[in-house]
Structures are given as C-alpha cells and as structure tokens.
A and B are shown apart, each in its own frame.
Chain A
C-alpha cells in the first residue's frame, strides 16, 4: 500500500512553462512534506518543504501548494528552465520521526 501517491509519472514542458506535480496522502499524522530533486547520477536533494499550518510556500521559482482538507500537495515550477530537468519526489513524514515516505517520482523534461 503506497502511502504517498504521486502523479504524473513523467512530464514534458517547454521552457518557460509551469510544470505541476501532484501528491496525495492518507495518513493524517504526517506533518512535514518535503520535495526532493534528483539529477541523473546524483542522490535526491532537498528542494523545498512545507508544514500543514500554511497553504503555500515559495522559494525562488518553486512553490508548494498544500490542501490539508483534501490531503493533497503539489509542486509548481515557475518559468521552468532546461536545467530543471530532473526527477522530483514528494515525501511525507511525522516530523518527530526520522522516516521519509516517498512518492514514486516524476521525471520532468524541460525543452529549450
């Protein structure tokens, strides 16, 4: 049983477009929702994270939108660039815990 469901599996956008990656969760005990970015041959790296007391968080061109009642959160990449091409993973955890529950990942390709 997958606790964090991520979609789409892959995504292709043109430079300047706004890719959106969605995740849904079931466990209401989750209180920390990070996004990780992974480039080929590298490990996942923390990109941005949100806690459920806010509905949106922005860091540069990356925005997380969070809907607590729907148990969904999403990543938006504004003015996407070819350098954003990577695999993106959403995750969730109970902050007091050390264990991250990941989604299945989204391969993003940003075409020049």
Chain B
C-alpha cells in the first residue's frame, strides 16, 4: 500500500511569493488532514477534509492560506502571499475513518522556508 505522498519535499521562496503544497493521501482514505510544525514547536492542526468537503478549518492561521481537495482525491495547500512566519514543516495525514483512535498515516512533510 502506497503511503501518503507530499511534494515538494522542500521549498524555499521569498516573502511575498506564492507556494502550493500538494498531498496525495492513501487511496480510499476519505479523511485528509493538514498539520504544521513551526521550528521547535508542537505540531498544530490546520484543517480536516472529508472527501472534498472541509469539515474543520479552525486551525488555518489566516486568509493567506487556502486548502482545496479536488474530487476528494489529492489536496493542495496554497500560501499567498507567503510571510516569514509561515516557515515550517507542513504535514499531511490521511485516515480511512474519522476519529483519531484509528491512527493517522502521515506523509514525510514539506519543509517550507520563506526568506
């Protein structure tokens, strides 16, 4: 079974530019999550999709962040315009069922550096 795939693995952009991160969940997993870890801090929840619908986007920092999940398959997270404080590692995870008791599968993350 292929895991959760994220790309790019690294991205370095200048402040004010736009970056789009992509996540391909495990096939058949309706639930897709985005999390972020800013350097040395905790991993924080950003949002949750069930199929193509946003169930909870309470963790999105501000309106510079836009997440989409076209057709309930892969998801993109766009940051526009990027700011220095957006630097961090962005993780995507997926699960077949909702509820953390079943465990997520995380991708390897995208390390975003805004300079």
A interface with B by C-beta (< 8 Å): 2, 4, 6, 9, 32, 34, 36, 41-46, 49, 89, 93, 95-105
Contact = CB atoms under 8 A, between A and B. Distances in A.
Contacts of A49: 101, 103
Contacts of A103: 42
Contacts of A97: 99-100
Nearest to A46: B103
Contacts of B109: 43
A98 B106 contact: no
B4 A43 contact: yes
A43 B31 contact: no
B25 interface: no
Interface string B88-113: 00010101001111011111110000
A97 B101 CA distance: 9
Of A43, A46, A93, chain B has the most CB atoms within 10 Å of the CB of: A43
A97 to B, nearest CB: 7
Given A42-B108, A44-B91, A99-B48, A104 B41 contact: yes
Contacts of B59: 99
Contacts of B14: none
A98 B42 contact: no
A95 B106 contact: no
Contact of B104 (A42, A46, A89): A46
A44 B105 CA distance: 8
A98 B59 CA distance: 13
Given A43-B106, A44-B91, A45-B106, A102 B43 contact: yes
A41 to B, nearest CB: 6
Of A6, A42, A44, chain B has the most CB atoms within 10 Å of the CB of: A44
A100 B107 contact: no
